[in-house]
Structure 1
Amino acid sequence: MSNSTILFGKMKKLWKFMRMKEYDEVMAHQREQLEELIERARTSSPFYQRLYSHLPEPIPSLQQLPPVTKPELMANFDDWSTDRAITRESANAFMADKTLIGEPYLGKYLICSSSGSSGHRGTFVYGPGESLYRWRTVLQAGMLSWTNFFNKIRWLNISATGDHFGSLASFTRLEKARQRSPFMRMAFESIRTISTVTPLQEMVEDINRYQPTLIFGYSTVIATLAQEQIAGRLHIKPSIVSMGGEWISDTDRQQINTAFHSAKLIRDAYSSAECPSIAHSCEYGWLHVCSERTIVEPVDEDYQPVPPGEQSYTVLITDLVNRVQPIIRYDQGDSVTLRPDPCPCGNPFPAIHVMGRKNDMLRMRTADGAVKQLSPMTFYVLLDLIPGLRRWQVIQNSPTSVRLRIETVSPELDAQTWETVYQRVKDYFDRQDLPMVTVERAPELPMQDPATGKFYHVRVKFEQASSLQQA
């Protein structure tokens, strides 16, 4: 088959996806894709074959399938995949080489790791069909249009770096595709990534020089940049601001809208390493499920459905696109509320609010009495890759101190692992011009929140308002 024939087939398929807008058409597509996904899982994944062995054929409804969790999938990694060439050994070997970030695993797959926000890290592999749905999502969200071909995009990604994280791997692959494709170079002038651990002043100066037209980043990072813009230190006029990955307050959202008021589009996204496109925001602040590729089920602690209007304990995600590592009724760990009535924006697809795990934004007091805001996502970059570290939590217990709860893989590695953790966190505070911040180890291990049963990585455990106002 010639390259032109393959390209024509891909463009035809993309056009079909793009024109699919009517509710009935999308839901028919969803049912068809779900049937194919379950069939693929039952016939090609040894893990799902065992899991579904007691169920009838065909399966009457999605709700009859048992949910799955990240630890469960990671423990059955080799048997989970539908391509028998995908193994834990080969995946680990590939991801150990950081020069391969964004390169195709086994010659055809995108592979990435999750940040461990649920308390467990994961490795996820996507098939070639993933890119078609990502472009459809980008185009339908209004992030790209024909005018971009006359006003070239400078796309800035602010994310975790240093490993095969989903955002970094995707943007690295996108930039390499841009360099190869004259068509993409017509639309994109450049695509850059800045690490979340970059000192804020250095980050602001770099962004001022780059002058991005499109910014993508963690919600807390975008909120921090909004404060810098309002304070007059950041001077940019992006056309599009896209954020996600974290819960932020309504006050933070208002500041983002104020700071970047000239932007044509400010959008929020609900996504994860497990499912790259779950939902996207509308002008009324609701996240509308990407129903052509994702099914979202708000459930209680026993995985029973939660009525619309009530906050769920967790949410089950089914990714209709990934046939390589099927994600079917996957426990995402986030708390969501399904809108009980039609959204006034006119979008007919399910609308949700996502509470997530609500990691706290750290607000540290500087030597001159000012307050410096630090994104919780920074600590994933600092700590997730440390050998010997199984789990961690950062607890801010005063304006100038943090306590670290850590769990190591073995007692023999405890002292060495703690020294590495301490040095990375202390060096980070020093680079942020916060040398007075003290870092100490907590005697207790990382633990779930007793009120919610959720695992939070970054928490503030003091009264911020009063403490930060003190001289």
Structure 2
Amino acid sequence: MFGLIRFAATLQRLYPFRLTPAVVRKRQEDSLRALLAHAVANSPYYRRRFAGIDVATCALADLPTLTKTEMMEHFDELVTDPRLKKADLGRFVDDTVNLGRYYLGEYGVSHTSGSQGQPALIVQDRHALSLIFAVQFARAAKLKRRFLPHLGRIINPARMAVLTIKPGFYPSAAAFAYFPRFLKPAFKILHLSFSDPMEKNIKKLESFRPEFLTGYASALEAFGREEAEGRMQLRALGCLKQITNVAEPLTDAAAVELERIFSAHVADEYAMGECMVLSSGCIEGRGAHVNADLAILEVVDEHNRPVPPGTEGSKVLVTNLYNRVQPIIRYEVDDRLTLSDAPCPCGSPLPHIVKITGRSKDKLWFEDGGERREVPYYVFLVPLHHVLDLAEHQIVQTGPRNFLVRLVPLKGKRIDVARVREMMLESIRLEGLEAAIVVTIEAVPDLPRGPSGKVARVKNEYALTLDKRASQRSAADAAEDKLPTA
């Protein structure tokens, strides 16, 4: 009962209509100062890292940044509970029996996929885990602006279908394993797996009659094709109110098409395992709103200098204001996005993310006179808009000027690769790139998914290879420097 009362109070505090930009800034500032004081008092790593800095008055930009490598190298001294050890937690998540169990009876544990390098362990207390669902209730769904409608959910529970990988410790799956018990009478969840046959998932969906459908962009687009071709009848059931895309970029064109097919709003949510409530999808338009009272999002260039609103950054720095056991402060994430330079038309007082491009490491480029020139994604994408039998695609850079376009046809259909090649070459010619890049096109039955089940629409394998070689050279040079001299 206490948990439910606390949850209700949290909802009241989170409802955006109760906020103004000034209130959001005040809450953010108060939470930041409390987080910094807690980190310095309880984390040996931050005590050393912030030495000489007055955390009660300093500007956020005065604080050093944190990389995933640094967080994992210093994990045992970064966390504020000395009982938490990286080796012990690693063994805990290696056993899937522990999924949904609280470590030491207090903490939920997850790990990122490591698709961009090493995985990261994430530890959160019960309050932080409950907050994930409170934000979903208060900000990620179009509901009346008061708490009382939720009381009716005890009689008529909300129904959410979540399409993820099979149960595991990846954040998108693990979060639901820690779903608070006191919410179960008001909120029903259907878990669907990528690996299950589409026919099986459709049958489950239609029987469950979801109000909310959440999944990766590639999975949502697959459901859209099934609905459009008459193999699924979710729209006819009249139950679906909102679709939420997570973890993968979804183009505006794809979102508009999903809205047309299902007659339901499509929202984008930008978040990560290190900060699950970083943003909530706009409930009326495109983009997402930064939950600035719970997290700080800095959009910066490659040198960590802030870029003005309306300008795409090279990466972001994330400060999680609600996780006190594992302080994550100015955490570098290699994502490219753009904050709006004007308030969102929906009226939310929260900052508006208008564009989520993807990972900087997945930027496509070619070398020209010793410098890198970007190859825009749309050069490949525009021709594909005319391939009506296309189910999925992936653009992979395999060399300094070499690109592979993988195309998956619709079920029972065939893609005319020669025709696609002609359209692609014409698009490349119009951009003046015909002498700069070489494109190979192939039709494949399926696309490879990462460890967490995501499909990378754009992937720069060549850049990852270069980074790996550079890291190996650095490690070799460091080892050589440590060798004793004669």
Q: Which residue of 2 aligns with 1:252?
A: 254
Q: Does 1:25 align with 2:23?
A: yes
Match of 1:435 in 2: none
Matched-pair contact (CA < 8 Å) for 2:409–2:445: no
| CA-CA distance at 1:272 after TM superposition | 0.8
2:268 corresponds in structure 1 to 268
TM-score normalised by L of structure 2: 0.71
Detail structure 1 runs of 4+ shifted over 6 Å in the superposition: 4-7, 401-406
Residue in 1 that maps onto 2:65:
67
Would you say the 8 A contact 1:405–1:446 is kept in 2?
no
Q: Displacement, 1:128? A: 2.2
Q: 1:14 deviation in Å?
A: 5.2
Would the aligned equivalents of 1:396 and 1:403 in 2 still touch at CA under 8 Å?
Answer: no
Q: For 1:288, what is the secondary structure of its paired residue?
A: strand
Alpha-carbon distance in 2 for matches of 1:396, 1:210: 43
| Structure 2 residues without counterparts, runs of 5 or longer | 144-148, 363-392, 395-405, 416-438, 454-459, 469-486
Question: Residue 387 of structure 2 aligns with which residue?
Answer: none
Distance in 2, Cα, partners of 1:205 & 1:401: 23
Q: Distance in 2 between matches of 1:215 and 1:44?
A: 40
Aligned 1:38-187 pairs, distance under 5 A: 38-141=36-139, 143=141, 145-146=149-150, 147-174=152-179, 177-178=180-181, 181=182, 184-185=184-185, 187=186
| Residues 11 and 135, structure 2, Cα contact 8 Å, conserved in 1 | no
**Distance change >3 Å, CA 8–CA 207, structure 1 → 2:** closer
Give distance in 1, aligned partners of 2:9 and 2:227. 43
Give yes or no for contact 1:289–1:350 (8 Å, CA) kept in 2. Answer: yes
1:397 to 1:80, Cα distance in 2 relative to 1, 3 A: farther
Q: Which of 363, 367, 383 matches 2:407?
A: 363
In 1: Cα distance, 2:445 partner to 2:192 partner: 27
Aligned residues: 382
TM normalised by structure 1 equals: 0.73
CA drift of 1:117 comes to 3.6
Counterpart of 1:35 in 2: which secondary structure?
Answer: helix
Maintained 8 Å contact 1:314/1:332? yes
User: Aligned equivalents of 1:166 and 1:396: distance in 2?
Assistant: 35
Counterpart in 1 of 2:379?
A: none
Residues 155 and 366 of structure 1: CA distance in aligned 2, closer, same or farther (over 3 Å) = closer
Task: Determine the structure 2 residue equivalent to 1:315.
Answer: 316
Name the SS for the 2:28 alignment partner.
helix
Give the CA deviation at 1:277.
1.1
| Cα pair distance change 1:161/1:336, threshold 3 Å | same
Q: Which amino acid aligns with 1:164?
A: F
1:348 aligns with 2:362: no
Q: Against the structure 1 CA distance between its residues 104 and 450, is the aligned structure 2 distance closer, same or farther, given a 3 Å change threshold? A: closer
Give the whole-Å Cα distance in 2 for the aligned partners of 1:307 and 1:248: 24
Q: C-alpha displacement at 1:202, in angstroms?
A: 3.5
- The separation in 1 between residues aligned to 2:441 and 2:464, in whole angstroms, is 16
Determine if the alignment matches structure 1 residue 333 to structure 2 residue 377. no
CA RMSD of aligned residues (A): 3.3
CA deviation string 1:46-96 (max 9, x = no partner): 221222124345352001111111111111111111111111122012112
The one-letter code matched in structure 1 to 2:158 is I
Amino acid at match of 1:154: R
Aligned 8 A contact 1:336 1:356 in 2? yes
- Does the Cα contact within 8 Å between 2:161 and 2:213 map onto a contact in 1? yes
CA distance in 1 between counterparts of 2:89 and 2:57 reads: 32
Deviation at 1:104, TM superposition (A): 0.9
| 1:399-445 CA distance string (max 9 Å, x none) | 03899999xxxxxxxxxxxxxx9xxx9xxxxxxxxxxxxxxxxxxx9
SS in 1 for 2:184: helix
Cα 1:249–1:57 change in 2 (3 A) is closer
C-alpha change, 1:75 and 1:150, in structure 2 (3 Å) is same
In the alignment, the residues of structure 2 paired with residue 113 and residue 396 of structure 1 have an alpha-carbon distance, to the nearest angstrom, of 35
The answer as to whether partners of 1:365 and 1:399 remain within 8 angstroms in 2 is: yes
Q: Report the Cα distance in structure 1 between the residues aligned to 2:163 and 2:314, rounded to whole angstroms.
A: 30
Alpha-carbon deviation of 1:15?
Answer: 4.0
Q: Letter of the aligned partner of 2:175 in structure 1?
A: S
Q: Which residue of 1 aligns with 2:290?
A: 289
CA distance in 1, matches of 2:448, 2:196: 21
Q: 1:222: which partner in 2?
A: 220
